[in-house]
Amino acid sequence: MMGPFRHAASQAQARARHASLLDAGAWQALLAEVSLEGVAERLGRALDVELPASPAALERFLEQRLAAETHAVAALQWGAPHRLLSAFARRFELANLKTLLRARHHGVAVERCEAMLVPLPHTVLPWRAILAARSVEEVADLLAATPYARPLRTVLEQQGEATPFPLEVALDLAYLQTLVRRVLALGGTDGRRARVFLGEWIAVENLSWAFRYRRLAGLTPEETVNYTLHRAFGAGLAAVRRVAIGAGVAEEAARLGYRIDPELPEEAALASLQRAALSRRFAAAARLFDRAVFDLGAVLALLTLRQVEVTDLVTLIEGLAEGLEREAVAARLIGPGHRLEA
């Protein structure tokens, strides 16, 4: 009954929000700024808020804004698209939770830990109580009614008060498995769009996990396969097995249609793959908004464009903080600021 009206509202919302993305002019002005204060001020004027001129605070603000936008667009969907977008919006919560588990493990003070979290006004997790929890077991109890409890308990049952690594692996895996199921639950055009915008992201994430588990964590093939997704839109079980027994980044990236320099070291190659994947999704999102699209694609494209905007702003902020040249920063951008003259 309310479906058509919600659909109407969500389409209108996506288009209205699309208009608030920073355009080439705004990027040109941002790139012309020589200091972080200038960027914060100009960005604050564009967004009509007062922004702090510290890289960490700015980045947290941008993440918070992205989270709020994801939540807002999810709220207007219904049925399978709503379930998908709600799950997608949970990635910010998940990131906070992982930060918190890591901070607990390293004995970071509650106040400092709280300051590291991205404020998420729309989540219902009892952050204060989680911060004050005496054990991971208690954290799992506090999260009882959420999708995070089960993976945490699974690890705790096996390993007791575990180190953050298995906890994070279990949380990540459960999260992306849910997301994969929700993408697969969508049929028709909505399903195709979800595969383009979320499926490709999931595929690259899965490959990155496999490479990092193999190299950085030194896991054996059977562990690598167990800690990764087996269905991941072109980078599932077969890809993970190949990685587990020694395939290279360029080789696997080529199977997904990305050209990565085979001479690059593995970490750089992975970064290059993630950048290429985001660029491809950005191009798809921009193309979609050039046409009159009235399906989930408009919403997913909006979120992709906003994600690129946030990624680019973070690149700009970090670039300024590290004293990079304008041209170097512009060359690293993906969105409208890419290769603009400062």
Partner 1 sequence: MWLPERLQEVSLFVLERDVEAVTDVVLRSASLHLEEVESETWAPQRRWSELAGRASALARRARDLLDDLALEPGQDPDEPVRPGRELDGLEAELASLEVRVAELRQRLEAQRNELDALELARSQLQLLSPVRVPVESLGDLRHLHLVLGTMPAENLTRVAAALFSIAFVLTPVQVRAGRALVAAASTFEDAAVLDRALRSAFFEPAPLPTDRRGLPQQALADLDGYVDEVRRHGVELRHERDRLADALRDRLLPLEARLRRAAAAADAIRRYPSRGEVYLIAGWVPERQLAAFAGAVRVAAEAPVVLEQVPPGASRQGVPTLLSTPRWLRPFTGLVTTFGLSGYRELDPTAPAAITFVVMVGMMFGDVGHGLILAALGGVWWLRARSPLAVVVVAAGLSGTVFGTLYGTVLGAPRLPALWLRPLYSIQELLLASIAAGVVVLNVGFALNLVGRARARDWQGLLIDKSGVAGWLLYWTLLGGGGLVLLGRLPASAVLLPAALLAALLWLREPLMARLARRRAEPLGESLVTGFFELFEAVLGYASNSLSFVRLGAFAVAHEGLSAMVLRYGSEPGGWFVLLVGTALIVGFEGMVVGIQALRLEYFEFFGRFFHGDGTPFVPISYQGGHDARTRS
Kindly identify the residues of this chain, within the stretch 89-118, that bind partner 1 according to CB under 8 A.
Answer: 110-111
Measured CA to CA, the distance from residue 233 to residue 182 in angstroms comes to 13
Tell me which residue of 277, 268, 219 sits closest to 243, measured CA to CA: 219
Which tokens go with 335? 């969105």
Choice between 133 and 198, CB closer to partner 1: 133
Contact status: 42 vs partner 1 (CB under 8 A): no
Region 192-221 residues binding partner 1, contact defined as CB under 8 A: 219-221
Other CB atoms within a 10 A radius of the CB of residue 284 amount to 17
Residues 315, 331: Cα–Cα separation, whole Å: 10
Site for partner 1 in 256-275 (CB under 8 A): none
Greatest Cα pair distance in the chain: 56
Rounded to whole angstroms, the Cα distance separating 174 from 279 reads 27
Interface region with partner 1, contact rule CB under 8 A, candidates 34-42, 226-234, 257-265, 280-288:
226-234
Determine the interface stretch with partner 1 among 83-91, 151-159, 194-202, 332-340 (rule: CB under 8 A): 151-159
Alpha carbon 327 to its chain centroid, in Å, reads 26
Among 122, 192, 195, 275, binds partner 1 (CB under 8 A): 122
According to DSSP, residue 48 is labeled T
**Residue whose CB is less far from partner 1, 8 or 57:** 8
Residue 118 or 276: the one with the smaller Cβ distance to partner 1 is 118
Can you tell me the distance from the alpha carbon of 305 to that of 320, in angstroms, rounded to the nearest whole number? 22
Rounded Cα–Cα distance for residues 190 and 340 (Å): 34
Q: With CA atoms as reference, report the closest residue to 123 among 99, 98, 97.
A: 97
In the bound complex, what is the minimum distance in angstroms from residue 116's beta carbon to partner 1? 13
Of residues 8 through 37, those in contact with partner 1 by CB under 8 A are 8-9, 11-13, 15-16, 19, 25
Q: Is 4 in the site for partner 1 (CB under 8 A)?
A: yes
Residue 32 CB-half CA count within 13 A: 8
Among the listed ranges 48-56, 249-257, 264-272, 303-311, the one in contact with partner 1 (CB under 8 A) is: 48-56
Q: Give the footprint of partner 1 on this chain (CB under 8 A).
A: 1-5, 7-9, 11-13, 15-16, 19, 25, 47-50, 76, 110-111, 119-129, 131-134, 138, 141-142, 150, 154-155, 157-158, 170, 177, 219-223, 225-227, 230, 237, 241, 294
